[in-house]
Chains A and B, each alone.
Chain A
């Protein structure tokens, strides 16, 4: 009975569909599909020349350092966000929403202003900048790189907190009790129970922060002190820079960015189990 009624409505609805889908389809076709196609076409302006140039030094090292910067920031972001998400889910239910609000409210501020706030704090002569420089994440990063990592983490943390919160909230606490009864210590419980359960959220969250970090232009520009060149800053200067803009080459760099981002999203969709696709699988 139910199947029949569903079929009936499906048939009656499908007549309206073509009409309904037409407007958004036309819009997205004109203002999304065509523009993306233009990026690809422009990049292949003179055959593979621009792509070949993009993949050779010095640009190959720019691409590489952008990936390193985005990966480092994503992992650092996870380290900051995971305990926060854990803290929120371990509150009593009525305190979870307020705590979540505490961690998410700053992100409603325009992101340029947020980065500028760090610019004020990290200004070169400031003590914080020197502290960061000497700490330098144990000498792995220069002080301008650390500043950019800090800015990226500060800009994109909610994209990690939210998926982590979503998976951790569904944790079966009896499993933790069972692990405790069987003699697991806190670290063993975390590693063998919590992390496997949270894996889809961790992966989805990592991809969700990695992708915008890859294309970021404002953070390296404002916090990098002119020392940091990323895919984002290169693309911008190839298009809008005052010195010798080169649109086809910029488009090829954007093509490289799209390939990297596409690979990350594919991985995320594969292992993030529905968290990236929204409620698609529900």
Chain B
């Protein structure tokens, strides 16, 4: 039984990493076709890295991600604080919680669809009456914010659970005004939750495909990195460029893990258990 477990774990590890290794190996293929391995070349790297469309997609992805992460961090924190102070009003708190959690639990395709209907049937026509045009960029940001709010809500709520409200009262007794009490007593204690939530919503936005895909329809040339990737793989003739873009994304992800790890070590104050 013990050996069976080890064999299983070894196979799962192979299952998890083998496709990624293949991807990296294929990105050096000299073949003109993505699915064939012949020789070795850096030519496809040169092509991918000198392709302005790739850069444009990277810039779009990061602009969307930072903007939507900033908005969802603010809104998600406010939501968590509101739920925290609504603990006694069970129904209202539960309703807010359910709204925040919905995008996390439901299939993303549902949110993407709903937003597509909302934007194209309702928001765009009514904005047009005012002479305003709603482009793909703000639409996708709006979708990503809705996705991110729930994540921030969860991480901030996790911190609020360990927060003793009597501390606020003590601060008032010592002469702090309400904003002062919040910023000097409560805020520093929930800050790790806010930062974790911001990182998560950033990652969710960078990773998102469904919402961007449905919402950006008809948007002229608007492409986040996942959308760019989707269009690449949808082509009839796949060139190894797609393997190169995949490998670069793989590199990005590992860099992200590494920085999250370093950030976590740095944020964890000595003696504190987070």
Interface contacts beyond A24-B149, A39-B114: sample of 17 additional A-B pairs, CB < 8 Å, sorted by A: A14-B86, A23-B74, A31-B145, A31-B146, A32-B99, A32-B146, A80-B15, A83-B8, A103-B12, A116-B246, A121-B19, A215-B107, A215-B109, A217-B210, A239-B113, A254-B109, A279-B157
Q: How far is the CB of B80 from chain A (nearest CB, A)?
A: 9
Question: Within 8 Å of chain A (Cβ to Cβ): is B111?
Answer: yes
Name 19 A/B residue pairs within 8 A (Cβ), A-sorted. A9-B169, A10-B165, A24-B76, A25-B96, A38-B114, A87-B5, A108-B253, A108-B257, A109-B250, A109-B253, A110-B207, A111-B209, A112-B229, A116-B242, A117-B20, A186-B1, A212-B108, A215-B106, A279-B157
Determine the distance from Cα of A10 to Cα of B117 in the docked complex, in whole angstroms: 40
Query: Does A35 interact with chain B (Cβ within 8 Å)?
Result: yes
B161 within 8 A of A: yes
| Separation of A114 and B246 alpha carbons in the complex (Å) | 9
Question: Does A34 reach chain B (CB closer than 8 Å)?
Answer: yes
Is there contact, CB below 8 Å, between A14 and B76? no
- Residues of B within 8 Å of A240, CB to CB, are 214, 217
Q: Is B22 an interface residue (CB 8 A)?
A: yes
Instruction: Known contacts A14-B85, A106-B16, A108-B253; decide if A23 and B75 are in contact (CB<8 Å).
Output: yes
Cβ of B158 under 8 Å from chain A: yes
Contact of A35 among B117, B161, B203 (CB under 8 A): B117
Which residues of B sit under 8 angstroms from A32, Cβ to Cβ?
A: 99, 102-103, 111, 114, 146
If A113-B249, A236-B109 touch, whether A120 touches B23 (CB-CB below 8 Å) is: yes
Taking a contact as CB atoms under 8 Å apart, the answer to whether A35 and B256 are in contact is: no
Q: Which residues of B contact A (CB under 8 A)?
A: 1, 5-6, 8-9, 12-13, 15-20, 22-23, 26, 34-35, 74-76, 78-79, 81-82, 85-88, 96-97, 99-103, 105-111, 113-118, 121-122, 142-143, 145-146, 149, 154, 157-158, 161, 165-166, 168-169, 178, 203, 206-207, 209-210, 214, 217, 225-226, 229-230, 233, 242-243, 246, 249-250, 253-254, 256-257
Give the distance to chain A from B223, nearest Cβ to Cβ, in Å. 13
Residues of B within 8 A of A6 (CB): 165-166
Contact across chains for B1 and A251 when beta carbons are under 8 A apart? no
Interface residues of A in 101-154 (CB under 8 A from B): 101-103, 105-106, 108-114, 116-121, 123, 154
The 3 closest A-B pairs by CB, nearest first: A215-B107, A35-B114, A117-B19
A274 to chain B, nearest CB (A): 13
By beta carbon, the residue of chain A nearest B92 is: A21
Contact indicator A120/B75 (Cβ below 8 Å): no
Asked whether, in the complex, the Cβ of A10 is within 8 Å of the Cβ of B5, the reply is: no
In the bound complex, what is the Cα–Cα distance between A216 and B253 (angstroms)? 22
Give Cα distance in the complex from A211 to B209, angstroms: 17
Whether B12 lies near A211 (C-beta < 8 A) is: no
Question: A212 is contacted by which of B107, B118, B122, B217 (Cβ under 8 Å)?
Answer: B107
CB-CB under 8 A from A216, the residues of chain B are 107, 109
- Chain A residues 1 to 40 lying within 8 A of chain B, measured CB to CB, are 2, 5-6, 8-10, 12-14, 16-17, 20-21, 23-25, 27-28, 31-36, 38-39
Given the interface contacts A20-B85, A118-B19, does A9 sit within 8 Å of B168 by beta carbon? yes
B110 to A215, Cβ gap below 8 A?
Answer: yes
Number of A-B contacts (CB under 8 A): 230
Q: Which of B78, B101, B102, B243 contacts A120 (CB 8 A)?
A: B243
Chain A positions within 8 Å of B, measured between CB atoms, are 2, 5-6, 8-10, 12-14, 16-17, 20-21, 23-25, 27-28, 31-36, 38-39, 42, 80, 83-84, 86-87, 101-103, 105-106, 108-114, 116-121, 123, 154, 186, 211-212, 214-218, 222, 232, 235-236, 239-240, 247, 250-251, 254, 257-258, 261, 265, 276-280, 282
Residues of B within 8 A of A212 (CB): 107-108
Q: Which of B9, B19, B121 has the most CB of A within 10 A?
A: B19
Enumerate chain B residues within 8 angstroms of A105, measured Cβ to Cβ.
254, 257
Distance of A21 Cα from B111 Cα, bound (Å): 22
Which residues of A are found within 8 Å of B253, using beta-carbon distances?
A: 108-110
A32 nearest CB across to chain B (Å) = 5
Residue among A24, A33, A250, A278 with the most chain B CB within 10 A? Answer: A24
Chain A nearest CB from B84 CB (Å) reads: 8
B20 / chain A contacts, CB cutoff of 8 Å: 106, 109, 114, 117
Q: Which residues of B contact A154 (CB under 8 A)?
A: 15-16, 19
The chain B residue sitting closest to A18, CB to CB, is: B82
